[in-house]
Structure formats: C-alpha cells, structure tokens
C-alpha cells in the first residue's frame, strides 16, 4: 500500500457538475498543528472520523497517513483543540471512468469557494477534464485546506 497521495486540484467554473453528483458528504475538519513539515488534521466525514497526517510538500504528490478514530472523540478534538476556524464543506462525488472527481463546496469562513480534486494512481496518469473545470491550482498553497484554516477565503483581498 502506497503512503503517497497524488491529487490535482482545480477551480470550478459553473454549476454544471451538480447534475452528475452521486453523493454529498458534509465535512468538518480542523488542524492540530501549524508545522512546516506536515499537517495533522481531524476530519468528520458524514458518520465517520479520521486522523490524517500529510506531508507539507507542495504539488500533486504528498506523503499521507490516515487512521479511523471514534466519532465522539473527533468532535471533542475539533471543538477543543483545533487551531483557527474549522473547515466546513460538503463534498460531492462524481464518477468518471475509474476515477472520481471530488467537488468541495465550502461554507463558514470559506463560503463562496468551490474546488474540484481528482486523486490519481500516478502523477502522469491521463484523465479527461470536464467542461466545468477551470484553472488548475494544485501548486497554489492558498487552496490547501490547512492554509484555508489559517487564511480563510473570506479574508482574501482579491478572491480568485
């Protein structure tokens, strides 16, 4: 099992993706550190919770480890130990062949931001880009959730 996540991130141009979504998962997540080497986060996704440790490498490929934790403990951690505002969003899933687009519609301090992600098995894997996909922001750290928890979209002087 690989401990690397290979993910590309894009802005979303319009609402055309909504008709293709097969599920919607409400999420709350918070970060427990502000380290430069890695992020440590707790995420509640629907009725599941996970502790996630992700390398701080910028780009599509990053070291990642994820572990399930009890939902009640995750809620306590988010409410008591998270730094900065929580990330609140609904993740919509859109299958495309063997891949799945994840569309994150943010709320709270990041309301108005909509980002699409696609996880790949290889950094050079080819995939089709739907017409509702806009600019790639994989290498723009402003769009990383860890950064959005410190510098929410609502505070950006010139939203992208």
Q: What pLDDT sits at residue 38?
A: 87
Q: What pLDDT sits at residue 109?
A: 94
Q: What pLDDT sits at residue 94?
A: 98
pTM of the model: 0.89
Q: Are 87 and 38 within 8 A, CB to CB? A: no
Q: What pLDDT sits at residue 123?
A: 82
Q: What pLDDT sits at residue 2?
A: 61
CA-wise closest residue to 113 among 64, 66, 78, 147: 147
Q: Which residues of the chain have pLDDT under 50?
A: 159
Class of residue 118 by CB neighbours under 10 A (exposed 0-12, middle 13-18, buried 19+): buried
Strands (E), 56-136: 61-68, 83-96, 99-107, 114-120, 133-136
Q: Are 88 and 45 within 8 A, CB to CB? A: no
Q: How many whole angstroms separate alpha carbon 111 and alpha carbon 143?
A: 13
In the chain, % of residues over pLDDT 90: 78
**Residue 67 annotated in active site:** no
Reported CATH class of domain 4-155: mainly beta
Q: What distance lies between CA 31 and its chain's CA centroid? A: 12
């Amino acid at each position: 099992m690989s401990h690397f996540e290979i993910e590309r991130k894009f802005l979303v141009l319009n609402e055309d993706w909504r008709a293709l979504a097969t599920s919607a998962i409400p999420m709350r997540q918070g970060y427990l550190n502000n380290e430069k080497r890695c992020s440590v986060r707790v995420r509640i996704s629907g009725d599941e919770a996970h502790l996630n440790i992700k390398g701080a490498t910028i780009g599509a490929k990053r070291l990642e480890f994820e572990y399930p934790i009890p939902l009640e403990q995750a809620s306590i951690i988010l409410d008591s130990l998270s730094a900065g505002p929580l990330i609140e969003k609904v993740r919509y899933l859109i299958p495309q062949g063997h891949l799945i687009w994840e569309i994150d519609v943010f709320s709270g301090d990041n309301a108005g931001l909509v980002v699409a992600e696609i996880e790949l098995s290889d950094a050079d894997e080819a995939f089709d880009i739907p017409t509702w996909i806009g600019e790639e922001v994989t290498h723009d750290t402003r769009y990383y959730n860890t950064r959005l928890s410190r510098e929410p979209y609502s505070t950006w002087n010139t939203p992208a």
